[in-house]
A and B are shown apart, each in its own frame.
Chain A
Amino acid sequence: MADINLLPSEEKASDSLNSLQKKLTIVSVLVLAVVALFTVVTLILFTTEKGRESQLKADIEKSASQVAAKKSTEELLTVVSKKASSANKAIAARMIYTDIITKTAELMPKDVYFNDLKINGSKLSTSAKAKTSADVANLVSSFVTSDEGKKLFSSISIDSLATDADGNYAFSVSMQINDAQSGVSGQGAVTK
Chain B
Amino acid sequence: MNLPSLTVGAGTKADSPIAEIGKFLIFAPSILAIVASISIAFFVVWPKFNEVVKLKESNKTLEATSVKLSDKVKALSVLDQSKLKTQLTSAELLLPSEKNIFPFIRQIEDIRNRSGVVITSLSVGTVGQFNSGKAKPDAGAPSAPAPVPPAAGADSDIAGSVSASVVEMKVSVTSDYRSILQFLNNLYAMARVTIVKDLSFSPTADGQITTSLVISSLWQPLPSDLPSIEAPLPSLTKADTDLLSKIENEGPISAPAPVPDVPKGRPDIFTKF
Using a CB–CB cutoff of 8 Å, the interface residues on chain A facing chain B are: 10, 17, 20-21, 24-25, 27-29, 31-32, 34-35, 38-39, 42-43, 45-46, 49-50, 52-53, 56-57, 59-60, 63-64, 66-68, 70-91, 93-98, 101-102, 114-122, 185, 187-188, 190-192
* Structural contact, B220 and A83, CB atoms closer than 8 A: yes
* Structural contact, A93 and B40, CB atoms closer than 8 A: no
Bound together, the chains give a CA A82 to CA B254 distance in angstroms of 20
Q: How many residues of B contact A (CB 8 A)?
A: 91
* Structural contact, B244 and A84, CB atoms closer than 8 A: yes
Closest CB in chain A relative to B187 CB, distance in Å:
9
Q: Which of A31, A60, A101 contacts B66 (CB 8 A)?
A: A60
Question: Of all chain B residues, which has the CB nearest A188?
Answer: B189
Instruction: Report if B122 contacts A (CB, 8 A).
Output: no
Query: Quick one: given A35-B37, A87-B94, are A46 and B55 in contact (CB under 8 Å)?
Result: yes
Instruction: Report if B79 contacts A (CB, 8 A).
Output: yes
Closest CB in chain A relative to B134 CB, distance in Å:
27
Q: Which of B34, B87, B184, B235 contacts A97 (CB 8 A)?
A: B184
Question: Of all chain A residues, which has the CB nearest B91?
Answer: A83
Question: What 1/0 flags go to B144-169 for Cβ under 8 Å of A?
Answer: 00000000011101110111100000
Q: Which of A21, A82, A121 contacts B234 (CB 8 A)?
A: A82
Chain A positions within 8 Å of B236 at CB level: 77, 80-81, 84
Closest CB in chain A relative to B197 CB, distance in Å:
7
A46-B52, A192-B185, A192-B186 are known contacts; what are 12 more A-B pairs with Cβ within 8 Å?
A: A42-B49, A49-B55, A63-B69, A63-B72, A71-B226, A86-B164, A88-B243, A91-B193, A101-B181, A116-B200, A118-B199, A120-B198
* Structural contact, B30 and A27, CB atoms closer than 8 A: yes
Question: Of all chain B residues, which has the CB nearest A118?
Answer: B200
* Structural contact, B88 and A76, CB atoms closer than 8 A: yes
Question: Of all chain B residues, which has the CB nearest A125?
Answer: B200
Q: Which of A39, A52, A89, A116 contacts B202 (CB 8 A)?
A: A116
Closest CB in chain B relative to A15 CB, distance in Å:
12
Query: Quick one: given A17-B23, A192-B185, are A77 and B193 in contact (CB under 8 Å)?
Result: no
Chain B positions within 8 Å of A79 at CB level: 88, 91, 222-223
Question: What 1/0 flags go to B39-63 for Cβ under 8 Å of A?
Answer: 0110011001101100110110011
Query: Quick one: given A10-B14, A60-B69, A188-B250, are A82 and B223 in contact (CB under 8 Å)?
Result: yes
Chain A positions within 8 Å of B123 at CB level: none
* Structural contact, A46 and B34, CB atoms closer than 8 A: no
The 6 A-B residue pairs whose C-beta atoms are closest, nearest first, are A63-B69, A86-B162, A84-B240, A83-B91, A81-B234, A24-B30
Question: Of all chain B residues, which has the CB nearest A26?
Answer: B30
